[in-house]
């Protein structure tokens, strides 16, 4: 960890995830951690600038969201700068430039992971955003577009630093890899040593033990957690306690959180998003129960929040012993790793 001009508020970050990092999930995370850095869903800079109404729920900033980072995607420097100006009005902790998304409709516009192939354009995007964003500015990048390229990753990270980003997030897999193979965590160390701004490592962290190991092994300034946090928003409490050397059992009221998550989606998001966001939330959260596949299959037949709640309630009526999880410090906190201790 290096002394930063603008230090990070936490060593733990929630990864931006399309359709997942809704205000509802962020609220669940906040029940367990007041300081973890939270992210919005990815927001199209072009749509934001066009003031497309469908973007509005994605840019919501609720009490308790801070520190919140908005992630934007795009490849046109002036459009990205315009998006920064609009989002800066909400006074977020930060704005993040997506240089990792490999989705074909994003990449074909030159945005997301495609920026990893064009350092000159990437530089111009960062420069324009820096001039427009008074808050923290970061780049979340992968380690190459269609091949793992450590040297180019270091070069691009340095370009971003030279252009004034406050920190870099590195998911050390190349874009086309999706989630296959293992992330190259030693590259996080290499990039961290090459830069003076903080570097945050990301990829396949499923437990507090792994997170701490990554922090110590790589010397990175923070770790970012995606899928494991969507399944287990309490992971941040476990991480904070583990980092502080504290050890207490954590009682997780699983059924209540499941239903609360769905209710929050219902109250924070417009009806047209209930199905997509509800299903995504349930996909990850169902991983906490023994018969997750059966439960999720029933939920997927439903379109409304009330409809999705019904199979959840029925599941716990049938399996009341799964209503609460007690995590001992020795146990993994993440359902995503499927080894949490149940009582
Ligand atoms: C459903 C889903 C949606 C994602 N959407 C985004 C996104 O919009 N922007 C982004 O930078 N990364 C996105 N990611 C990647 C995550 O931010 C993160 O880099 C990746 O999941 C690795 O972290 P993890 O192993 O802790 O999940 C997404 C991942 C998932 C699973």
Domain residue ranges in the chain: 37-202, 251-324
* DSSP 8-class letter at 65: -
Cis peptide before 321 (omega within 30 of 0): no
Task: Compute the distance from residue 343 Cα to the ligand 1 centre, in Å.
Answer: 31
The Cα–Cα gap between 124 and 129 comes to 9
Give me the tens of pLDDT residue by residue for the chain, a chain 343 residues long: 776 777 899 999 999 999 999 999 999 999 999 999 999 999 999 999 999 988 899 999 999 999 999 999 999 999 999 999 999 999 999 999 999 999 999 999 999 999 999 999 999 999 999 999 999 999 999 999 999 999 999 999 999 999 999 999 999 999 888 899 999 999 999 999 999 999 999 999 999 899 999 999 999 999 999 999 999 999 999 999 999 988 789 999 999 999 999 999 999 999 999 999 999 999 999 999 999 999 999 999 999 999 999 999 999 999 999 999 999 875 544 544 433 333 2
Q: Evaluate: CB of 227 within 6 angstroms of ligand 1.
A: yes
The Cα–Cα gap between 94 and 72 comes to 11
The Cα–Cα gap between 139 and 133 comes to 13
Is 135 a residue of the active site?
Answer: no
The answer to whether 125 and 159 have CB atoms below 8 angstroms apart is no
Ligand 1, atom nearest to 204 Cα: 25
Q: Measured on CA atoms in the order 150, 153, 159, 161, is the torsion positive or negative?
A: negative
Taking only the tens place, the pLDDT of each residue in 228-239 is 999 999 999 999
Ligand 1, atom nearest to 140 Cα: 11
Two tokens at 77? 């420097």
37-202: in CATH 3.30.1360.170:
no
Two tokens at 140? 């979340």
Q: Evaluate: CB of 100 within 6 angstroms of ligand 1.
A: yes
Residues near 48 by Cβ (< 8 Å), separated by ≥ 6? 55, 59, 72, 82, 83, 86, 87
The Cα–Cα gap between 205 and 220 comes to 14
Which helix (H) or strand (E) is 300 found in, with range? helix 292-300
The Cα–Cα gap between 256 and 56 comes to 28
The Cα–Cα gap between 267 and 10 comes to 28
CA angle 37, 72, 102 (to 5 degrees): 100
Q: Measured on CA atoms in the order 278, 280, 281, 287, is the torsion positive or negative?
A: positive
Specify the residue with its C-alpha closest to ligand 1, atom 7.
17
For residue 59, which of 51, 279, 131 has the smallest C-alpha distance? Answer: 51
Q: What is the pLDDT of residue 176?
A: 87
Pocket test for ligand 1, best of 13, 14, 15, 222 (most atoms within 8 A of CB): 15
- Give the count of alpha carbons within 13 A of 250, CB side only: 27
Specify the residue with its C-alpha closest to ligand 1, atom 13.
17
Q: What is the pLDDT of residue 328?
A: 80
Q: Evaluate: CB of 204 within 6 angstroms of ligand 1.
A: yes
Task: Compute the distance from residue 21 Cα to the ligand 1 centre, in Å.
Answer: 10
Q: What are phi and psi of 12, to 5 degrees?
A: -130, 125
Q: What is the pLDDT of residue 247?
A: 77
Q: Give the length of the chain.
A: 343
Q: Evaluate: CB of 16 within 6 angstroms of ligand 1.
A: yes
Q: Evaluate: CB of 15 within 6 angstroms of ligand 1.
A: yes
Ligand 1, atom nearest to 202 Cα: 23
Residues near 319 by Cβ (< 8 Å), separated by ≥ 6? 289, 290, 291
The Cα–Cα gap between 215 and 202 comes to 11
Taking only the tens place, the pLDDT of each residue in 114-161 is 999 999 999 999 999 999 999 999 999 999 999 999 999 999 999 999
Residues near 110 by Cβ (< 8 Å), separated by ≥ 6? 75, 118, 121
Q: Which residue has the tokens 């904070």?
A: 240
Q: What is the pLDDT of residue 6?
A: 79
The Cα–Cα gap between 57 and 40 comes to 10
The answer to whether 40 and 71 have CB atoms below 8 angstroms apart is yes
Which helix (H) or strand (E) is 282 found in, with range? helix 274-285
Q: Evaluate: CB of 140 within 6 angstroms of ligand 1.
A: yes
The Cα–Cα gap between 87 and 45 comes to 10
Q: Evaluate: CB of 203 within 6 angstroms of ligand 1.
A: yes
Q: What is the pLDDT of residue 180?
A: 92
């Amino acid at each position: 960890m290096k002394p930063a001009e603008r230090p990070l508020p936490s060593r733990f970050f929630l990864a931006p995830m399309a359709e997942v990092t809704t205000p509802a999930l962020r609220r669940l995370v906040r029940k367990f951690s007041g300081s973890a850095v939270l992210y919005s869903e990815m927001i199209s800079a072009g749509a934001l600038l066009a003031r497309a109404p469908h973007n509005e729920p994605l840019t919501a900033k609720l009490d308790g969201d801070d520190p919140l980072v908005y992630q934007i995607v795009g490849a046109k420097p002036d459009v990205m700068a315009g998006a920064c100006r609009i989002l800066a009005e909400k006074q977020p902790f930060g704005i993040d430039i997506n240089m990792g998304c490999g989705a074909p409709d994003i990449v074909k516009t030159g945005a997301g992971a495609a920026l990893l192939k064009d350092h000159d354009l990437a530089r111009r995007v960062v420069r324009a955003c820096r001039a427009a964003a008074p808050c923290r500015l970061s780049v979340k990048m992968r380690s190459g577009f269609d091949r793992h390229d450590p040297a180019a990753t270091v070069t691009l990270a340095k370009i971003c630093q030279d252009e004034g980003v406050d920190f870099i997030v590195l998911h050390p897999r190349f874009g086309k890899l999706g989630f296959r193979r293992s992330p190259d965590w030693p590259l996080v160390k290499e990039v961290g040593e090459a830069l003076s701004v903080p570097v945050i490592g990301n990829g396949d962290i499923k437990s507090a033990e792994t997170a701490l190991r990554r922090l110590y092994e790589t010397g990175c300034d923070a770790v970012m957690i995606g899928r494991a946090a969507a399944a287990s928003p309490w992971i941040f409490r476990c991480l904070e306690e583990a980092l502080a050397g504290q050890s207490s059992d954590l009682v997780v009221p699983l059924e209540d959180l499941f239903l609360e998550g769905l209710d929050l989606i219902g109250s924070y998001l417009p009806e047209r998003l209930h199905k997509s966001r509800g299903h995504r939330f349930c996909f990850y959260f169902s991983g906490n129960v023994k018969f997750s596949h059966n439960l999720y299959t029933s939920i997927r037949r439903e379109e409304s929040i009330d409809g999705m709640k019904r199979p959840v309630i029925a599941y716990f009526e049938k399996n009341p012993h799964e209503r609460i999880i007690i995590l001992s410090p020795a146990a993994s906190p993440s359902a995503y790793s499927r080894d949490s201790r149940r009582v």
